[in-house]
Amino acid sequence: MTALLEVAGVSRHFRGLAAIADVSFRVDAGSICSLIGPNGAGKSTLFNLISGFLPLHGGSISFGGARIDGLSTVRIAERGIARAFQIARPFPGLTVAENVRVGALFGRSGARDVAKVVTEALSLTGLAEAAAQPAASLTVGYLRRLELARAIAARPLLLLADEPCAGLNHTETEEIVVLLREIRARGVTVLLVEHDMAAVMRISDRVFVLDAGSKIAEGTPAEVAADARVIAAYLGTPEAG
Ligand code: ADP
Ligand code: MG
């Protein structure tokens, strides 16, 4: 089986600091995978490398069997990778629907069926009733939905979601979990960075654990939760074994 996304021996440093050191993992088509790890582990850097915001210093990244490292952010988006940011960056003067329309004009949507793509993305994310409101009027929970709506309006094959549940209460978190499952059910593979461990454990098929730039564990949620190195990394104690 070919992985949809294959990260192979990837490295990235910032001056002397190895932010990502020889990290490898694969994301199978149709799965929901999560990237977890303590603050500073390198999760956002990895998303920046996959989406082309930062160049690699080693290794390779392939998508659908073809190399994408070295391509521009625009080309990578066109191949079918969309990113939802933790801090939503809507155009505050535009309405909710207009913001989603901007997303629909990028990625794989192109200029085709823009109105239909926008309507579907708004309906899927529960934003249909808020469509005509200015984006600036949304609560944090709804801004997070808008960020996801904007990303899926590009009709991606892979959604990179950076902490979609950060700062949300229990109910809002549950709603985002349900939404991510619906996005997956529509054929979009999902790679998450998420701090809410309960959400990660419920939603993920596979979890990759980073610590200080290295992958220290990988497996099902139950496997990584029982891993001594993972527990040590989270407790901040010296490595066990
Ligand atoms: P995480 O998202 O897991 O919290 P990051 O990927 O943001 O971690 O950061 C990993 C490490 O790389 C941290 O030590 C951080 O300070 C450093 N880092 C990230 N981006 C930059 C940058 N643009 N310049 C310098 N150092 C950076
Ligand atoms: Mg981060």
| Mean pLDDT per 10-residue section of the chain, whose length is 241 residues | 91 95 98 95 96 97 97 94 85 92 79 86 96 93 93 95 91 94 96 90 96 96 93 68 42
Atom of ligand 1 nearest to the CA of 45: 6
How close is the Cα of 185 to the center of ligand 2, in Å?
A: 27
Q: Is the CB of 209 under 6 A from ligand 1?
A: no
Closest ligand to C-alpha of residue 85 is: 2
pLDDT at 240: 43
Q: Is the CB of 37 under 6 A from ligand 1?
A: yes
| Sheet with 214-219, side-by-side order of all strands | 81-84, 158-162, 189-193, 32-36, 206-211, 214-219
pTM of the model: 0.93
Q: With beta carbons less than 8 A apart as the criterion, state whether 162 and 85 touch.
A: yes
pLDDT at 195: 84
Nearest to 74 by CA among 102, 52, 41, 100: 52
pLDDT at 1: 61
pLDDT at 233: 85
Q: With beta carbons less than 8 A apart as the criterion, state whether 154 and 113 touch.
A: no
